[in-house]
Amino acid sequence: MCGIAGILTFDGFPVREEEIYSLSAALAHRGRDSAAYFLGGASNGGFSAYPGIALGHRRLSIIDLSPESSQPMRSQNSAASIVYNGELYNYLELRSELISAGFRFKTDSDTEVILAAYDAWGEECLNRFNGMFAFAIWDEANQSLFCARDPIGIKPFYYSLTDTRFSFASESQALVAGKTKALDSTAVACYFMSMYVPRHLSIFAGVSKLLPGHSMKVTRQGQVSINKYWNMPEVKFRHPSLYDAASELTDLLDKAVKAQLRSDVPVGVLLSGGFDSGMILASAARTGLPLHTYSVGFDDGIQASELPIARDMAARYGSIHHERVISGSEIIGFLDSALGNMSEPVADSAIVPTYCLSGMAAEDGIKVLLTGAGGDEVFAGYSRYVASSLERKLLFTLPRLIRSVIGRTLCTKWLLGARLTHPALDMLVYAGGSPSLAKRFFQNNSDFRRFLDGLVKGVFPAPIYQQAPLYEHMSFDLQVYLPDLLLMTLDQLTMAHTIEGRVPLLDIELIKASYSLSPELHASPTKSTTRNLMREMAVSRVDPRTFSARKQGFSGPVLYWIAQNRAVFKEVIMAAREIPEIRGWPIEELWKSGERNQTPVWAKDMFTLYCFSRWYYAHD
């Protein structure tokens, strides 16, 4: 885990040393073990004869801690150089294959394996990688940058492209540091719609994300090409028994966890009382490696605590366990610090415990944390996938064509009609966000409907209509909700404490195997039970109470937090009146509308406003 940065000019004008230094320095928290940069030009050490290229790197040493593995790194076999953020879990296997092909290595790092793989197979090397990564390779022979992001988007890659230069970094705020910060109006509206900024959009105007599973080639002449190199394989569904499917995926999970435990530094696990983190701990314990586990609870007295389950799981598997109960009076400090460390605003209450537990792990010297992120998207764990209520049962019972016809006739019911017409919007709205606040960016229902249609056509991934409805919903979350909210949050809040977050449930082989199974093995949209297959896998591995516990994860009691910190929430929300993008909103009226009779919907809206306001002023 590291921070990467780079600048490529198109006009031949040299990159100044202070430019790449400043861009890299903005990522200092991502890697404190070493910092370096390459500067092009014949007089700068021979990295490149072209003076308009520079690469920067901040290192967090995880594998091969020696100085020889520092970056930027030059290939031994060609004139290529790399900056890389992530971990390649099959690097040992690829290294052996490359050695058999005649390559020689001077380090034990996965960075050098990626460089050699590029030398051997060119851009096709991406199809051989199993891991989480974002990297840029300067190809001196072709005078071009080759950039790529892992298939699921576990690692971030932000970039800025103008007529004269291309710049990239691990965090969007690095690309606008020291400049007047203008926000992207569409991204701001999307934030209020969904509580995060989706897909290629970035909150900062002029900054974009390279999408998961995509690569990008940029030449010194300014020619840019973007290629989608990874898709979920199209296969006929397999129909094994539930037992056989569970055995197969359990073996793949054990293999993934073992590979992701490869590290030359201490490792921990973020542990809730749910299936996903419990299964990861069970698999990790089988390796016999010493593990630390970290769990969190809240003092609201209303939300069910998962601490007892987590505590007993830690005792069962012999981990060194740490837990923390966060009081209502502490929330503001954790929340504000978390938002200050985010490149993009996020209104997910889970940022509080994620930031708190990452800090605890850092104090214990932990540099790698395994988490259960992705389990719901891979094993059908969300209630929005199934008939969790009478309304959703009726919704999923209706054929797609009928749903669409009904949706298009509900012109006055702007949101309901859009959700019936576009399953992706239904997934987006059900997951969170404040559509009523997002609507305030538009003059009327027609304008807002056009905005929603624009999201479907220009932002969201194209739906695969031949796909089973369950997998269509899961695929949307796998491509949008997961990378742009959950994984972005995990990356930024663990890196705020210079820790690498790993996600074994998002192993590519595990995902492909799961999505190749008959969807009924996971869940039926017309029934209320989720994650049938994971439940079978977990029978002998997790605490029995997990099977009946209400799904909670690391989500916090927002309504209680606001009640405990009413004055601070009101002050920060009122300050939002001066933010240009939402100036003119009746903020005080919105606050007063639920101040006396507080409801979860009102609390969600106020939390969304608070997070945006606090994030904005922290980055102003």
Percent over 90 (pLDDT), the chain: 73
CA-nearest of 497, 479, 198 to 354 is: 497
Mean pLDDT along residues 142-151: 97
Which residue ranges make up each domain of the chain?
Answer: 2-228, 242-380+476-553, 385-468, 559-618
Q: Burial of 131 by CB count in 10 Å (0-12 exposed, 13-18 middle, 19+ buried)?
A: buried
**pLDDT greater at residue 358 or residue 554:** 358
Q: How confident is the model at residue 64 (pLDDT cuts 50, 70, 90)?
A: very low
Mean pLDDT along residues 245-254: 98
Helical segments of 181-274, H only: 185-194, 242-260
Q: Identify whether 544 is preceded by a cis peptide bond (ω within 30 of 0).
A: no
| pLDDT score for 414 | 65
The enclosing H or E element of 400 equals helix 400-409
Instruction: Read off the tokens for 49.
Output: 């004869």
Q: Name which of 23-27, 248-252, 349-353, 547-551 the model is least confident about.
A: 547-551
Evaluate if residue 11 carries a pLDDT over 50: yes
Q: Name which of 59-73, 182-196, 446-460 the model is least confident about.
A: 59-73
**pLDDT greater at residue 95 or residue 389:** 95
Residues recorded for the chain: 620
Mean pLDDT along residues 565-587: 95
Q: How confident is the model at residue 463 (pLDDT cuts 50, 70, 90)?
A: confident
| pLDDT score for 174 | 93
Q: Name which of 243-252, 300-309, 540-549, 550-559 the model is least confident about.
A: 550-559
Evaluate if residue 212 carries a pLDDT over 50: yes
| pLDDT score for 207 | 97
DSSP character for 15? P
Q: What is the CATH number of domain 2-228?
A: 3.60.20.10
| pLDDT score for 549 | 74
Q: Name which of 29-38, 290-299, 370-379 the model is least confident about.
A: 29-38
Evaluate if residue 156 carries a pLDDT over 60: yes
Residue type, 124: E
| pLDDT score for 34 | 65
| pLDDT score for 548 | 82
Dihedral-angle region of residue 322 (phi above 0 means left; psi in -120 to 50 means alpha; beta otherwise): beta
Tell me, yes or no, if the pTM score tops 0.85.
yes
Mean pLDDT along residues 20-39: 84
Evaluate if residue 63 carries a pLDDT over 80: no
Could you tell me the sign of the dihedral formed by the alpha carbons of 58, 60, 66, 71, in that order? negative
Mean pLDDT along residues 77-85: 89
Contact 155, 214 (CB under 8 A): no
Evaluate if residue 1 carries a pLDDT over 80: no
Evaluate if residue 140 carries a pLDDT over 80: yes
Distance between CA atoms of 554 and 373, rounded to whole angstroms? 11
Q: How confident is the model at residue 61 (pLDDT cuts 50, 70, 90)?
A: low
pLDDT in tens, 522-553: 999 889 899 999 999 999 999 999 988 777 66
Q: What is the CATH number of domain 242-380+476-553?
A: 3.40.50.620
Q: How confident is the model at residue 60 (pLDDT cuts 50, 70, 90)?
A: low
Q: How confident is the model at residue 399 (pLDDT cuts 50, 70, 90)?
A: confident
Summary mean pLDDT of the chain: 91
| pLDDT score for 69 | 58
